Amino acid sequence: MIRAESLSKQFGRIQAVDEIDFHIEKGEIIGFLGPNGAGKSTTMNMITGYLAPSSGRVLVDGIDMVESPEEAKKRIGYLPEQPPLYLDLTVDEYLNFITEFKKVPKSRRSADLDEIRQLVKIGDVRSRLIKNLSKGYRQRVGLAQALVGNPPLLILDEPTVGLDPKQIIEIRELIRDLGKEHTVVLSSHILPEISATCRRILIIDRGSIVASDTPENLSRRLSGATRLHLLVKGPVESVRTALESISNVESLSVATGPEDGVTEAVLEASGTKDIRESTFRSMAGADLPILQMRPMDLSLEDIFLNLTTQEEAVN
């Protein structure tokens, strides 16, 4: 859906984006991250056609943004951090204006807006002035305008900023629903939102892409190991003996658990090999029921800080 090829942008002597390459497939929900000044906003502005690249190109659904900007932009729905709302219009007046602006055929407008209002759940405020809506409803109206014309690609910049916890959960669920029919690029400084919503993340730092993978794979790659936390029903020494029989285990910590008769264990294996199955078989063979097993991956915050501070540490 999006392909960036040797994409660069200079502002005078400042190299904001430096020959980056990445692709986003149809149907993906991607988190796009970067610290302030990393080139994230510049990259997003080139993807949406707001800025022209100094070199390289952006293809949206196979269409070059510079060569055919109108055709490329038809395929994009964009929600900036501050939704472009006209506060003195009602919700319906505003959305009707957007259908005209995006040149949606008149024969489709009514049915399309009915579907959008139902999807983003704004039917109960359609006759209210936008200036009288809560922040959460304004964000929903902003999403509605991005959906007008049914673009296959949605770019959402900080869609949950300023919302309360209930509104954040609602918008998060809405984004997941949108991901069933659209490709979604989500930019946010709220890393738990990215982690909860996105299947893959792109991280940009100092104008270069420094990561493109799932959070789980990045965690294993950066830590160089796979770690598991276990709660097992059985005595400490029996659990220790069974776990020591697992191949590739480099370190093991076993202690009395939080309940009577339960042992807590943390084991670490070298590389990125998944050891959950071998752990299960070892415990089952020793008649030691596993009550809980969970991977101890690095958090998205840890991954982000690790990748965006490495260069500073080297310098």
- 248 contacts 271 by C-beta, under 8 angstroms: yes
- pLDDT for 166 equals 85
pLDDT at 314: 45
pLDDT, one tens digit per residue, over 91-130 is: 999 999 999 999 999 999 999 999 999 988 899 999 999 9
- Give the pLDDT confidence score for residue 223 in this predicted structure: 59
Q: Which residues make Cβ contacts (< 8 Å) with residue 287, sequence separation at least 6?
A: 234
> What fold, for 224-295?
Alpha-Beta Plaits (3.30.70)
pLDDT at site 310: 55
Rg for the chain, CA atoms, rounded = 24
Assigned CATH for 2-219: 3.40.50.300
Return the H-helix or E-strand segment holding 23: strand 14-24
pLDDT at position 181 is 87
In which residue ranges of the chain is pLDDT below 50?
A: 313-315
Instruction: Evaluate whether 183 touches 1 at the Cβ level (below 8 Å).
Output: yes
pLDDT of res. 111: 94
With 0-12 CB in 10 A as exposed, 13-18 as middle and 19+ as buried, what is 315? exposed
Q: Where are the domains of the chain?
A: 2-219, 224-295
